[in-house]
Structure 1
Amino acid sequence: MPTSPRRRARLASSLALALGTAVALLPAAPAGARPAGDTLFTDQGNSGYQVRVYDVTMDYQPLTNRATARVLVRARAARTLDSFHLDFSGPRVTEVLVDGVAARHRRTGAHELVVTPAEPVRRGRFTVAVSWRGEPPEHTDADGSTEGWVRTSDGAVALGEPVGAMTWLPSNNTPGDKARFRYAITVPTGYEVAANGDLVGRDESATSTTWRWDARDPMATYLAMVAIGQFDVHESTTTSLDGRTIPIWSFTDPTTGSAAEARAALPEIIAFNERLFGPYPFTSAGLVVDDARVGYALETQTRAFYPPGAATTSTVVHEVAHQWVGNAVTLTDWHDIWLAEGFAVYAEWLYAAEHGGPRPGQRFDALYARPASDDLWSPAPTRFTDSADLFGEPVYLRGAMTLHALRQRVGDDDFFAILRAWVRRHDDANVRTRDLVRLSERVSGEELSGLFREWLVRDGKPRGY
């Protein structure tokens, strides 16, 4: 399949609101949409509950790509729920239990699992366990790219941005609902399983191994990752800025190469990002290189995913930067994705400049020299209405240019103080653009709504630069 615009932007990004009460940053959701909180994917998520933990138990057979799974969702209801839904487009559901009691369930639309418990769920904590069996599907995005449960030559990898987690994970599939994840994935002997967080156990029998992973820090569903195949496993450590020893687990498909340069560079790239954003925000790190030919790398939490040939220095810098900006500090609404991608591109620019490449100001000037008719200037980074534009140049490059314009306005001392304060204040939380505006104004003492409006809201080439 030809590389989509989304993927070109993602792999080539190195080349390349308190905004006033009268300014609406986000378009209104269409009438009748569920109040999930997201304005782009209005049919995803549910505001009636907040997930605390996903416990995933799965038995997977790589040769047939079939699995038996049970996902226990530990949640907190915001109000009494006579029924509720989970986002799920995966295989046949065999059982649903709410607080241990069998519940009615039905599938509606392309990806909605409606659950009606025997008794209404009262406000507070509850559990729902969904069991399913079969072959999880892939998902095709509006831009033509592939995500979801993606088949590889010797297994599969689960990639979830923006909505592909629903192909295997019954979930509240919106970035505004972050939760802890625990995995127990059983595979035949001779296969390995990579996932998010810390490797906490491997239970081996004569014919199979159960790999246990624990992602202790809250994580958006789009960042959840499971990779199953015959990998080379590489273990090492690095020391964080705050003195912690960070274990590094990396998994590489031997048919794609060892990614030796990327693995060797990872500790230094983590240290570089720590100088920008503060101590590494998670308990482990690493990378996964697999032969899923999707055409993009992805910042899956703690260990990013790379297809064959994608683990270049600039891309690794980008995906590692996301561990702070995007993963630890996560957008609430997909219209604010520039808060992840713009920051990660700007980290690339800063890293390249430190290693003999163009300075960020030179990149800014070269991009700003593009004509007003160039696609870079439309739609504005927070104003797209088509999910096919979610990973376009305005989000990536104009997003990074927004940060450089902010740096020019407030000066280096305040700018880098803003970067560090951004992660320190919002670690493990969800944010919106208005939070960055407020923080930038607080740190700098300047009124900045006009700058952010010009770069993020107004369609067309920003004026005065």
Structure 2
Amino acid sequence: MGPRTTTDRRPRSAASRSRSGWAPAAALLLALTTTCAGCAPGDGIAAALPGAAGVGDRLFPTLGNGGYDVTHYGLTLDYTPEGNHLKGTAVITARATQNLSRFDLDLSGLRVRTATVQGARAHVARSGNELVVTPAKSVKEGEVFETVIAYDGTPRAVEGDDGGLEGWIETDDGSAALGEPTGSMTWFPGNHHPSDKAMYDIRVTVPRDADGDFYDVVSNGELIAERDKGGTVTRHWRTAEPMSSYLAHVSVGYFDVHNGWTRDHLPVYVAVDPDESEDAAAVPRLVPEIVDWAAELFGPYPFSSTGAVVDHLPGLDYALETQTKPYFAEAPDESLLVHELGHQWFGNSVTPRRWKDMWLSEGMATYAEWLWEEQRGGRSTDEIFQAFYDGTDDEAEGIWAFPPADPPSGGRVSDPPVYGRGAMVLDQVRKAVGDEDFFRILHTWTRRHRHGNADTGQFLTLCESESGKDLTGIFDAWLFAKGKPPRARGA
């Protein structure tokens, strides 16, 4: 994300302008019983239990849900910008990871009209941001089941724990749906934790405006269909690679669309709000250039298309690495563009397993900025590192507040230590192992965990196994220790 006070939401400074398992008692109950009160009457499934309301993430305890793994979201949305009204149907295909008597979905606001599981009417109840779904018949472990939720209302923007605005945000000509870390639950029900990735089909129907023109709709993946019904138009976007829900995105408004190709014949789709067209004139050229450059350093680009959305949303103060097309609230500078495109490898394809692992995403995207600046004839990575260590870099303020791998709360996952000090960890590893081993580590990381989730421990193990070196001292001092290390390695 881009600037470092938000979720990339990497915070945007003036310089960068960028933003569970069951409890032991439950396990004992399962071992001692063959039926439970939570089973639907007469359904014949032994020991069906409710899925957990949360996945046990320390930083966001109620985010996500247990008992199932989503494989696909089919979202059909009918949106009227005048009045900001949303009518939606979510078809959620999932596999049960336990015998389920009921399960939760994360949903904030909006009215649920109907719910079915496997075609049969299901009972729903609301508790805060939890939508509790009780199917007519319990779901067996390993069963692939389909849940359909019909809902409507006025989607809202919410203030995240980090103080940033997220969710369904109205713009001067439409809206932008931005989800990091919790905002996606404001516009569709789901399992909203990064550890549960799925494929998406997003169909959005919009009307003509007062002048008779259609609103544009941009989302993740590729535009595979467009249907003009006279008074409305429906655009169908498909994401065929797994995606965490916080990276799902819809922009409604007016955009100039620029199509192109990377050197490897990857399609490029850049949508620019006309109010930003002059300042964003270089973006359609820079996107394929940066993607080609990054592919050499980090490994093959992990998705079937790339691009960007440059909106006009003054005051948002962050950008977001929405999958395949990062979102910018205004025309980005090169550094911010590099950061968000770097996330396509680090954060989007290889996604942190828990929110405390966010430094693996933000630190690496920040280090991509350092590498780009050096490649473009600016400061070397050594000079940038030292400027951060000395506190003279514009982004250095606050980087010693806590260890990058241990944010104290969910509201701090987008704070400076996760970005700047996270990048410093990587630079220290690079100095210790040398360029050949370091970039081999990055290639191996993006290949081994492509389209999956990974955590800090796995990265540390990979660094040592690929380099053959004991890096405990570096990680202890730069990644886990409180305060500023006594000196910069190699300084």
Could you say whether these structures have the same fold, taking a TM-score greater than 0.5 normalized by the shorter chain as the test?
Answer: yes
1:46 equivalenced with 2:70 (yes/no): no
Q: For residues 445 and 210 of structure 1, what CA distance do their matches in structure 2 show?
A: 54
* Gap change, CA 1:255 and 1:440, over 3 Å in 2: same
SS at match of 2:319: coil
Structure 1 residue 9: deviation in Å?
A: 5.2
Change (3 A) 1:199 1:176: same
Q: Give the distance between the partners of 1:418 and 1:15, measured in 2 at CA.
A: 28
Q: Which amino acid aligns with 2:11?
A: R
Q: Which moved more, 1:227-236 or 1:171-180?
A: 227-236
| Structure-1 residue corresponding to 2:249 | 225
CA drift at 1:195: 0.5
1:403 aligned partner:
426
Q: Return the match for 1:361 from 382, 405, 417.
A: 382
> Are 2:304 and 1:303 aligned?
no
SS state at 2:169 partner = strand
Q: Kindly tell me: are residues 87 and 187 of structure 1, through their superposed partners in 2, closer, same or farther at Cα, counting changes over 3 Å? A: same
What is aligned with 1:195?
219
Between 1:384-393 and 1:357-366, the stretch displaced more is: 384-393
Matched, 1:115 2:133: yes
1:22 maps to none
Residue 386 of structure 1 deviates from its aligned partner by 2.1
Query: What SS does structure 2 have at the residue aligned with 1:161?
Result: coil
Please name the residue that 1:249 is paired with. 269
Q: How many percent of aligned residue pairs carry the same amino acid?
A: 41
| SS in structure 2 at match of 1:451 | helix
Report the 3-state secondary structure (helix = DSSP H, G, I; strand = E; otherwise coil) of the residue aligned with 2:126: strand
2:407 maps to 384
1:403-450 deviation digits (Å, cap 9, x = unpaired)? 000011111111111111110111001000111111111110012233
Q: Which residue of 1 aligns with 2:159?
A: 140
The one-letter code matched in structure 1 to 2:321 is: E
Structure 2: how far apart are the matches of 1:62 and 1:42?
Answer: 34
Deviation at 1:363, TM superposition (A): 1.1
Structure 2 unaligned regions, length at least 5: 18-22, 27-51, 209-213
The Cα of 1:10 is off from its aligned counterpart by 2.6
Question: In the aligned structure 2, how far is the partner of 1:162 from the partner of 1:447?
Answer: 34
Cα deviation digits, residues 130-150 of structure 1 (max 9, x gap): 111111111101232100000
Contact 1:103 1:117 in 2 (8 A): yes
* Contact map agreement 2:262 2:292 (CA 8 A) in 1: no
Q: Residues 125-180 of structure 1: CA distance to partner in whole angstroms, max 9, x if unpaired? A: 11111111111111101232100000011211100001100001101010001000
Within 5 A, what are the aligned runs for 1:368-447? 368-370=389-391, 375-447=398-470
Q: Are positions 1:128 and 2:147 aligned together?
A: yes
State the 1:4 CA deviation: 8.8
What is the TM-score of this pair, normalised by structure 1?
0.91
2:244 and 2:4 map into 1 onto residues whose CA distance is: 24
Aligned pair 1:314/2:315, yes or no?
no
Give the CA deviation at 1:369: 2.1
- Determine the C-alpha separation between the residues in 2 that align with 1:277 and 1:168: 33
Distance 2:13 2:140 in 1: 49
1:13 and 1:397 in contact (8 A); partners too: no
Find the aligned partners of 1:388 and 1:210 in 2 and give their Cα distance: 37
Of residues 124-133 and 158-167 in structure 1, the stretch that sits farther from structure 2 once superposed is 124-133
**For residues 374 and 252 of structure 1, do their structure 2 counterparts lie closer, same or farther at Cα, with a shift above 3 Å needed?**
closer
Q: CA separation of 1:456/1:307 partners in 2, compared to 1, >3 Å: closer, same or farther?
A: same
> How far apart, CA to CA, are the structure 2 residues paired with 1:78 and 1:214?
26
Instruction: Write the letter of the residue equivalent to 1:117.
Output: P
State which drifts further: 198-207 or 250-259: 250-259
Residues 13, 253 of structure 1: CA spacing in aligned structure 2 closer, same or farther, 3 A cutoff? closer
Deviation at 1:15, TM superposition (A): 6.0
